[in-house]
Amino acid sequence: MTAIFTLSDISEQIAVLRARLLATRWPSYDSRDDRSLGTSSDDAKRLVDYWATQFDFESLRQRVSALPHAYVTIDDVTVHLLHVRSPHAHAVPVIITHGWPSSFLEIVPLIERMTQPERFGGRAEDACHLVIPSLPGFGFSSPARTLEAYTGAAIADLWARAMTFLGYERFFASGGDIGARVTSWLGVRHPQRARGIHVSSNALRLELPGEAIPTEAELAYLAQRNQWAAAEGGYMHVQQTKPLSLAYGLSDSPAGLAAWLAEKWCSWSEGQNCANSEVMDIILSHATVYWISNTIATSFLPYFVYDWPPGARVDGTQVKVPVGFYLSAAEIGGIPPESFARRQFEIARWSVLPRGGHFMATEEPNLLADDLLTFIRALR
């Protein structure tokens, strides 16, 4: 079944949200502008005030309602997605999967660049049809039926069935963060359908094959990732071990929700400043989707089942379809040595983008769209 989604009846929810924001009880410790403890007090108070008094909910409603939404029900799971067909008859389908702490909104800046590339200096013959799903339990997709259904492999199987429903037998796939892992599993479990996969460094295992002798660059990269995990990975440990203990607070407090999301959006991106109104609009658009749909708790569940069978990340040697990697220095962990990735995957395209970080589709949509279109062009 399909349906058009609208945000037509949220006025009461917005009124409650604003009242909660204006009644925020702040922590007893005021960090002012010090971000070393997490989202600073100054940033959090600025975000809350902006969300309560200046954020344009009507503009968000209009922008979201204007998008071509669809719902695909598979068994008893309802997948929300954007389905944007290019006006060009020769376009090929691409499914692009977002990550955390994100939503389908992260991918929206790619839509016109992919479906009508000639409007952005590209070639009409490179056009694509886009499918942009919301992960199970994120935004307007229903929760998965079981915890096992939140694994990357299970979501890949769900995506394959959704693409069948939409009439796409063969397709390309792309994604970052959780989306990179889901996309990789599409390449392993559905090689007869996935024509190629395009992923961020999140698809890589943080280990070398047992017989491999690491290079200095590879050892340095692994050490850097370990240092990052020790300094910045607390969120993942909580969400992987005790997600509900955190979710009670963030489901009840919009101030807490905004602060939790903002810390990641600002620290994982390149130069995104929480004091900038455009950046606050981006963060709070995602926060509004999480709040209205009450899905922050279920957005944690892919972390809880992170390494459940068949595992978080694929054995790259099992991927028999072309693989393209897109990378940037500001992404979590930086740029891995190409040799490290080639020990795991047979790589058709290796792109180091000059700008952007974890949220590349929003941060640098031109760069990401150009790289994805170039990857696909060689495989048409």
CATH number of the domain that residue 101 is part of = 3.40.50.1820
Residue 87, domain member (yes or no): yes
What average pLDDT score do residues 83-98 get? 97
The neighbour count for residue 251, using CB atoms within 10 Å, is: 17
Q: In what order do the strands lie in the sheet with 92-97?
A: 69-74, 77-84, 128-133, 92-97, 171-175, 194-199, 323-327, 347-352
Predicted local distance difference test score (pLDDT) of residue 8: 66
Mean pLDDT over each residue of the chain, to the nearest integer: 95
The domain tally of the chain equals: 1
Predicted local distance difference test score (pLDDT) of residue 5: 53
Structural domain boundaries, residue 313: 37-377
Residue 107, domain member (yes or no): yes
* Top-confidence residue, 244 or 213: 244
Using DSSP, how many helices (H) and how many strands (E) does the chain show? 16, 8
Tell me how far apart the alpha carbons of residues 109 and 151 are, in angstroms, rounded to a whole number: 27
- Orientation angle between helical segments 41-53 and 11-22, nearest 10 degrees: 140
Residue 284, domain member (yes or no): yes
121 Rama sector, left if φ>0, alpha if ψ -120 to 50, beta otherwise: left
**pLDDT of 7 higher than 70:** no
How does pLDDT run across 116-152, given as a tens digit for each residue? 999 999 999 999 999 999 999 999 999 999 999 999 9
DSSP H/E element including 302: helix 301-304
pLDDT class of 9 with cuts at 50, 70, 90: confident
Predicted local distance difference test score (pLDDT) of residue 6: 53
**Is 172 in contact with 128 (CB distance < 8 Å)?**
yes
Tell me how far apart the alpha carbons of residues 208 and 218 are, in angstroms, rounded to a whole number: 9
* Top-confidence residue, 76 or 294: 294
**pLDDT of 314 higher than 60:** yes
Residue 25, domain member (yes or no): no
Residue 8, domain member (yes or no): no
The model's pTM = 0.96
How does pLDDT run across 18-44, given as a tens digit for each residue? 999 999 999 999 999 999 999 999 999
pLDDT class of 3 with cuts at 50, 70, 90: very low
Predicted local distance difference test score (pLDDT) of residue 46: 97
Angle, CA 254 vertex, CA 252 and CA 260 arms, to 5° = 105
Predicted local distance difference test score (pLDDT) of residue 376: 98
Residue 24, domain member (yes or no): no
What average pLDDT score do residues 312-340 get? 95
Predicted local distance difference test score (pLDDT) of residue 273: 86
How does pLDDT run across 250-281, given as a tens digit for each residue? 999 999 999 999 999 999 999 888 889 999 99
Residue 31, domain member (yes or no): no
pLDDT class of 4 with cuts at 50, 70, 90: very low
Phi first, then psi, for residue 81 (nearest 5°) are: -155, 160
Residue 6, domain member (yes or no): no
